Amino acid sequence: MLDARASRPHRRGMVEDVQSIIEIAAPREHVWRALTDPELVPLWMGCLRFRPEAGHIFYLQPDRARRAADDVTGAIACRIEILDAPRRLSFSWGFPDVPDTFVDIRLRNIPGGTHVRLVHSGWDQFDDYESEEVRGGLGRAWHSVALPRLRAVAEG
């Protein structure tokens, strides 16, 4: 049996970022609070130990039982890189045993609310086929789960 990936060239370079945009019917300051308040962040991002401080490490724990037990086993380590209230939150995204990628969330006032733009970048350090499935899954998760939850928290 042949592995189709084995015959593909190993390319690095122009790998697309994961991008998602959502509009929230709440003032930017409310969205910023939902984005960075340690009591609210777990409601939309499923993380542990979040503190809005540059350099702080927090964990994304997809396993609900481990998250409930504050167990970071198998969690994704994230480090806050930029905290620019109420405009921008950026953090590294550290899958175990691979180079970090980066999440950048920017907030902009619009009539009736806030424009939220998320870009998850850093994929060009991987071969295309190595990151394709992960990027696709994260794109769906950011767009269909996390950002709608952020909207619900901010508008609630």
* CATH superfamily label, 17-155: START domain (3.30.530.20)
What pLDDT sits at residue 7? 34
Structure tokens at 11: 């390319």
Q: Where does residue 56 rank: exposed (0-12), middle (13-18), buried (19+ CB within 10 A)? A: middle
What pLDDT sits at residue 14? 65
Percent of the chain scoring above 70 in pLDDT: 90
Helix (H, G, I), strand (E, B) or coil at 151: helix
Distance CA 47, CA 155 (A): 20
What pLDDT sits at residue 11? 41
Name the residue ranges covered by the structural domains of the chain: 17-155
Tell me how far CA of residue 127 lies from CA of 4, 6, 124, in angstroms.
Answer: 14, 12, 7
Is 90 exceeded by the pLDDT of residue 6? no
What pLDDT sits at residue 12? 44
Is 60 exceeded by the pLDDT of residue 94? yes
How confident is the model over 30-78, as pLDDT tens digits?
999 999 999 999 999 989 999 999 999 999 998 999 999 999 998 999 9
